[in-house]
Structure 1
Amino acid sequence: MTIEQIFQDKSIKAKGKVKTLGEWLLNGELPIDELLAYAEKQKASDKATCIEAVEFATKKTPKIADEYLLDYVTNSLKDEEPRLKWESAKVIGNIAKLFPEKLEKAITNLLPNAENKGTVVRWATAYALAEILKLKTENNVNLLSKVETLCDKEEDNGVKKKYLDALKKVKK
């Protein structure tokens, strides 16, 4: 079965597509760059499903990520589609520890999403920013005060908790 066939098969639900593609990524049957090249030519919902498959795989095995993936999801944070924003943010949260010195652009693209009207976008953004903060890199010089401000302004408890947990770990 090919990527195209998975997306054309209406009997496979979205979560099934994510799981199948994610498992292909994990077992090496599908290179990430091939999936991202496919995603680039798709409508927003299918592109988001591809990124969700990458999120599924990087959650289990972050080391499958490379700089191309980091750049791809960093750029996807600026997309209009909320699901692309949140899936990309979750991938960044999963892989940040592999690229501690290459996260400036990701941070720049994440920060506007931290004030998005969508709770899921804000939660995923908080997850990514929290994971970056926990790395205790030079990024924290500017990021720490921004996260504290975001945390103070955040009204959703789930999003706020992501920030608070990271702030506790960083201030130890």
Structure 2
Amino acid sequence: MTIEQIFKDKTIKAKAKVATIGQWLVAGELPLDELLAYAENQKAADKATCIESVEYATKTAPGIADETLLAFVTKSLKDEEPRVKWESAKVIANIAKQFPAQLAPSIKHLLANAENDGTVVRWATATALAEILKLKTEANAKLLPAVEKLCDKEEDNGVKKKYQDGIKKAKK
């Protein structure tokens, strides 16, 4: 079965698509660059499902990530579709520790999404920013005060908790 066939088969539920494609990525049966090329030309919902598959895969096998993936999800943070934004942020949270010196563009777009109206976008963004803070890189000089401000004005407790966790670990 190919990526196209999975997306065309309406009997396969979204979560099953994510799991199948994610397992292909982990097993090396589907090259990451092939999935990203496919995702690039899809409507928002299918693009988000592709990114969610990458999030599924990088949760257990972050080593499959490369700089092309980081660039793709960083660019996707600017997408109009909220689900594309939050799935991209979750991928960054999974792979940030592999690219500590290359996160400046991601940080810039994550900080912009931290002001998003959508709680899930803000939660995923907070998750990614917290993971970046935990790396204790030079970026923390500017990032830590920015995240502290975001945390202070955040009203959702789930989002606030993500920020607090990152701040606490960054200060240890």
TM-score by length of 1: 0.99
Opposite residue 86 of structure 1, the aligned amino acid is W
Tell me if 1:162 matches 2:162.
Answer: yes
Runs of 4+ in 1 over 4 A off after TM superposition: none
Q: Which residue of 2 aligns with 1:126?
A: 126
Opposite residue 56 of structure 1, the aligned amino acid is Y
In 2, the alpha carbon distance for the partners of 1:135 and 1:82 equals 26
Tell me if 1:106 matches 2:113.
Answer: no
Percent identity among equivalent residues? 75
Matches within 5 A, 1:28-107: 28-107=28-107
Q: 1:34-60: CA deviations, max 9, x gaps?
A: 001001111000000000000000011
Q: CA deviation at 1:76?
A: 0.2
Q: Which residue of 2 aligns with 1:8?
A: 8
In 1, the alpha carbon distance for the partners of 2:77 and 2:10 equals 28
Q: CA deviation at 1:130?
A: 0.3
In 2, the alpha carbon distance for the partners of 1:132 and 1:14 equals 29
Unpaired runs of 5+ residues, structure 1, are none
TM-score by length of 2: 0.99
Q: What SS does structure 1 have at the residue aligned with 2:101?
A: coil
Q: CA deviation at 1:75?
A: 0.2
Say what the alpha-carbon RMSD is for the aligned residues: 0.4
Q: CA deviation at 1:8?
A: 0.4
Q: What SS does structure 2 have at the residue aligned with 1:29?
A: coil
In 2, the alpha carbon distance for the partners of 1:170 and 1:4 equals 42
Q: 1:97-124: CA deviations, max 9, x gaps?
A: 0000000000001101001000000000
